[in-house]
Amino acid sequence: MKKVSKEDLRHSDKQENGCLYIIATPIGNFDDISLRAIKLLKSVEILLCEDTRKTKKLLSHLNINRKNLISYNDNNAENKRPQIISKLLSKTSIGIVSDAGTPLISDPGYKLVKECYINNIRVTHAPGPSSVINGLILSGLPTNQFYFGGFISSKKTLKKKQFIASEKYNMTGIWFDTCLRINNTLAIMQEVFGNRKISIARELTKTYEEIISGDLNDIIKTIDKRKRNNNPLKGEVILIVDGYTEEKFEINNLSVIVKNKLEKLSFRDAVDEITTETKLPRRVIYNEAIKIRNNV
């Protein structure tokens, strides 16, 4: 095995002209930042920011007084990208940060990296916090394999398509959502996924960090109760959902189970109870109940 020299170790910290530095920043607690990231925030000639106002707050906390902060986000990325590439080709060192966490995760930065490679410009990363990974490791769900679905659509039809596309993935699923839409999101998740284990993470690394975990049916009841008690969830959340597993009973028995429940319970209560007991997607139970009711 090749011996690693002190010079090799120092090389990764050296600033290079004409290089794009992807710099991870804290997701909530400003103390969660690496020494390397601090060095780069001080030394790069230009710093691209998702929102310069938010980046200035971090820089102020770190006692970094610098100029050349440039806004780079969804609204202006297409127009600014050619100028940035031109600067990099002229040997300018440029860093890029997001409002929180690791850049390029659900933001337009990846297109800049793609253009850098097309133009033979070096790209490197000062790693650090990621809300995706933080939420996953706090969820209590399997971490050996996972799928990241990004932001959940605000449109009901597209939202349902997102979940159906990953319905049979036998790995943990991770999505971003807002608390304003979470009731609708959880209802559609229940319809598609059934009563799976789920974890909701919010305010990670902050004072009011919160992890809510349990069966999907129970979580829906918990969220509803908090809303009624004037203690609703606020802000953005990370939804972590258990993956698909083979059912433990014969699907052929479903019609018998549904028929027996319909004889004792109302249509809605029967569907709710079977969904909880079998953990099958609600829509599967609902469709079977409709078929049996119409045949009666």
Task: Answer whether residue 8 shows pLDDT above 50.
Answer: no
Predicted confidence (pLDDT) per residue in 246-278, tens digit = 665 455 578 888 888 888 889 988 888 888 877
Q: What is the pLDDT of residues 10-28, one digit of tens each?
A: 445 566 669 999 999 999 9
pTM: 0.79
Residue-wise pLDDT for 148-183, tens only, equals 999 999 999 999 999 999 998 999 999 999 999 999
- CA dist., res. 118 & res. 124, Å (int): 15
